Structure 1
């Protein structure tokens, strides 16, 4: 996979992270990509199963420095496949607004979306597992791991933990109002942006 030289605060573009269209919406800035990963409450995890069929699983995640950790069951296709390491893709998306246009074609969304390509590994080191699971629980609420019971030996054995290095990453985003065709400007239809906000109403 060929890459292009990039400064330390940016991911290096690759063939897989270089878009064919809407290139102006794509960036490789690490800080902004990490901000999206940290804000998104779930991600979609894609891979090819041992039977050759594609899989996409929604799951909870946490970022620790330059690694993304995903939690799953050891009995699931994700947990079983990871025992040998395998190629994966992960996406995390935040929808910021619904964009209403005067035409069907130009209806859109304002969003921020991160796509990761990587070789996942199953985390087996006890210390790394403990730290990553603690970070996952603390994503619910700061310090929550100290206000809840840690996993038992049985629960720990049933839990798979994947580590995904954040190296081949791209960020795509859209902001602003609808893009109207000039011929549609005088049409008697309303247009504009409806804001979308995810709100957590309580912290325990």
Structure 2
């Protein structure tokens, strides 16, 4: 697996490069927004949101526009968690806050790479529920016959709920379905669900079950 490490602090980038290579990853480094956008294709990007020549959020948005399948983990500073949430809204799959343990980062990388390389469902797997039509094979969604464009994570969250219509799913169950781990930022799922509701145009389609998780109601 090939990782693009976007980090302008040379000391940090050197340490992370060494640790990632010891774990078997191929690593390319970029120390600026321009270098990140000019880098060769990769499987996953570790993106520092505080870059010297441009906003990391802009890089995140541009990378996501290029590929819906690219794994992106945003990296932000302690006390700047709002930047990580903004990263999720602009296309990141997850975020970590410095300083972080390498074991934590490794777990998130593995979960994200498992998700992006996992084979899809068999052709013709379609779910119709509550005005939604979800084609799991084609990864398309229609609401009341209106097509809706979703990111990979938004689609996977919706598919997780749609496979069990009417049931309240714990947040941990959805995280396992979508991220293959329950170890993620506490706001990660909530931010993606909020974006999903907005795109569907019918917030009532995804109900919050207080103290548990979410449910897709059966009409």
Higher helix share: 2
Higher percent of residues as strand: 1
Q: Which has the higher contact order (CA 8 A, sep 6+)?
A: 1
Give TM class, smaller chain: under 0.3
TM-score (norm. length: structure 2): 0.23
